[in-house]
């Protein structure tokens, strides 16, 4: 018999994480150029369908079948195909003896993470990548980047055995996506029309609200239980986002244009959400506040560095998600405490060994180097068969019309 309360909680958490992908589509769609609104939103929504199909056939199995301890995976890097097409799993299958809810719900919950991770990347190359190329990119990037890191960190693979921690995806989600975004910018180059204002700031606000709301399921749900750690992760998520949003706002208010912008406030909140993700269930609420300040200041500086280097990461995916994942993973090595999570490790500032911090740094370096390098190789490979970058004519006309034959709003 399933634990009814826990089962209900996990269904709710899964639903919240699913809501984040439409939220991301609204967030990116509002920030983009009015000629490309549908194309960037399409890139998020198509992941809902395509990633689900991949997850059904082999994605879930490659992530969560086999483990390094028993030697039933591939050298601790990727799982096996024992659960391909959910083989052997029924609605009555229990996830684990200590997590008494259906494995079906775990399948769905983790699938929502798989859906949003590659969608995060799309904000970097908005306005200038062909939909056909993105379609193939979405498939192969998941197989060769996302699935291995899920297995290594959460599926009993190499990094898990090494003692690396990542509560909800600082390494697995944000660092891999953020540095893949940077590689894609390097490959496709700059937009022809770089100077544009967000076409719909209220739409960005709706997207931010949905992301923030969904992030409670993203972080609190990652405990896969209802206990004090769940509560800590839930509140730490809000605290870090709030501190980061105000930190970004204050910095922006006193530098540059010397005006507090709505876009800056919302971007700071997302930076805080990304940065607290790996540490949410391992740190105190006081540490979460400090991590929020680090996120607001650190990610703001990363975005400014990007601008100084003239990288056309259109929607700051690298600066917010990539560097947010890096900052959060390092902060976990500093601020984690077993008083919050007995299953964790004490960080350096809580009496722990520097070895744990070094492991976190090594893991994040592996993630960013591999994701960046493989993304470049993948895009070059796709480009041999399909032009990755939209033509100058398509970009000028607008990808909405060029690729989808639709427009976001009728101007008549």
- Determine, yes or no, domain membership for 310: yes
Q: What is the CATH number of the domain that holds 298?
A: 1.10.3430.10
Token digits for 404? 């989808």
Q: For residues 297-302, give the mean pLDDT.
A: 98
Token digits for 263? 């876009």
State the first-to-last Cα distance of the chain, in angstroms, to the nearest integer: 59
Q: What is the DSSP string of 222-265?
A: GG-S-SHHHHHHHHHHHHHHHHHHHHHHHHHHTSTT----HHHH
- Determine, yes or no, domain membership for 244: yes
H or E element: which one contains 105? helix 103-121
6-10, 393-397, 404-408 — most confident range: 6-10
pLDDT tens for residues 204-216? 999 999 999 999 9
- Determine, yes or no, domain membership for 407: no
- Determine, yes or no, domain membership for 410: no
Task: Tell me what pLDDT residue 324 has.
Answer: 98
Distance CA(237)–CA(231), nearest Å, equals 10
pLDDT tens for residues 220-252? 999 999 999 999 999 999 999 999 999 999 999
- Determine, yes or no, domain membership for 352: yes
pTM above 0.85, yes or no: yes
- Determine, yes or no, domain membership for 408: no
* Residues sharing a CB contact under 8 Å with residue 352, sequence separation 6 or more, in sequence order: 336, 345, 346
Residue 184: pLDDT above 90?
A: yes
Output phi, psi for 94, to 5 deg: -85, 140
- Determine, yes or no, domain membership for 412: no
Q: In the chain, how many domains are there?
A: 1
- The size of the chain, in residues, is 412
Residue with token string 């004090």: 228
- Determine, yes or no, domain membership for 406: no
**Full residue range of the structural domain in which residue 137 is found:** 4-401
* Residues sharing a CB contact under 8 Å with residue 116, sequence separation 6 or more, in sequence order: 17, 20, 21, 24, 47, 173
- Residue 101 contacts residue 94 (beta carbons within 8 Å): yes
Residue 160: pLDDT above 80?
A: yes
pLDDT tens for residues 36-83? 899 999 999 999 999 999 999 999 999 999 999 999 999 999 999 999
């Amino acid at each position: 018999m399933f634990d009814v309360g826990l089962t209900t909680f996990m269904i709710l958490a899964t639903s919240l994480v699913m809501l984040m992908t439409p939220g991301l589509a609204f967030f990116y769609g509002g920030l983009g150029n009015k000629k490309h609104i549908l194309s960037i939103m399409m890139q998020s929504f198509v992941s809902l369908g395509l990633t689900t199909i991949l997850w059904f056939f082999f994605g879930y199995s490659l992530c969560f079948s086999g483990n390094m301890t028993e030697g039933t995976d591939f050298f601790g890097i990727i799982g096996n195909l024992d659960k391909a097409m959910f083989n052997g799993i029924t609605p009555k299958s229990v996830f684990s003896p200590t997590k008494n809810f259906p494995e079906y719900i775990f399948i769905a919950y983790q699938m929502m993470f798989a859906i949003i991770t590659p969608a995060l990347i799309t904000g970097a190359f908005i306005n200038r990548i062909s939909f056909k190329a993105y379609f193939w990119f979405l498939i192969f990037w998941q197989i060769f980047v996302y699935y291995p890191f899920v297995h290594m960190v959460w599926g009993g693979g190499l990094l898990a055995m090494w003692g690396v921690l990542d509560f909800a995806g600082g390494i697995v989600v944000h660092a891999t996506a953020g540095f893949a975004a940077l590689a894609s910018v390097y490959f496709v180059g700059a937009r022809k029309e770089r100077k544009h204002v967000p076409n719909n700031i209220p739409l960005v606000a709706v997207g931010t609200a949905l992301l923030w709301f969904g992030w409670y399921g993203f972080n609190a749900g990652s405990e896969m239980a209802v206990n004090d750690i769940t509560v800590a992760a839930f509140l730490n998520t809000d605290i870090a986002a709030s501190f980061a949003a105000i930190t970004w706002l204050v910095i922006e208010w006193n530098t540059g244009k010397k005006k507090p912008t709505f876009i800056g406030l919302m971007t700071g909140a997302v930076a805080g959400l990304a940065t607290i993700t790996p540490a949410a269930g391992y740190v105190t609420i006081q540490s979460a506040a400090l991590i929020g300040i680090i996120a607001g200041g650190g990610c703001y500086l990363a975005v400014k560095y990007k601008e100084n280097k003239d990288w056309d990461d259109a929607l700051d995916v690298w600066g917010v998600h990539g560097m947010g994942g890096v900052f959060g993973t390092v902060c976990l090595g500093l601020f984690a405490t077993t008083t919050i999570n007995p299953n964790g490790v004490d960080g350096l500032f809580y009496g722990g060994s520097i070895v744990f911090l070094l492991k976190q740094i090594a893991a994040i370096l592996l993630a960013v180097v591999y994701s960046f390098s493989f993304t470049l190789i993948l895009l070059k490979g796709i480009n041999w068969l399909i032009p990755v970058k939209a033509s100058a004519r398509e970009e000028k006309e607008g990808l909405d019309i060029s690729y989808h034959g639709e427009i976001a709003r009728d101007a008549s």
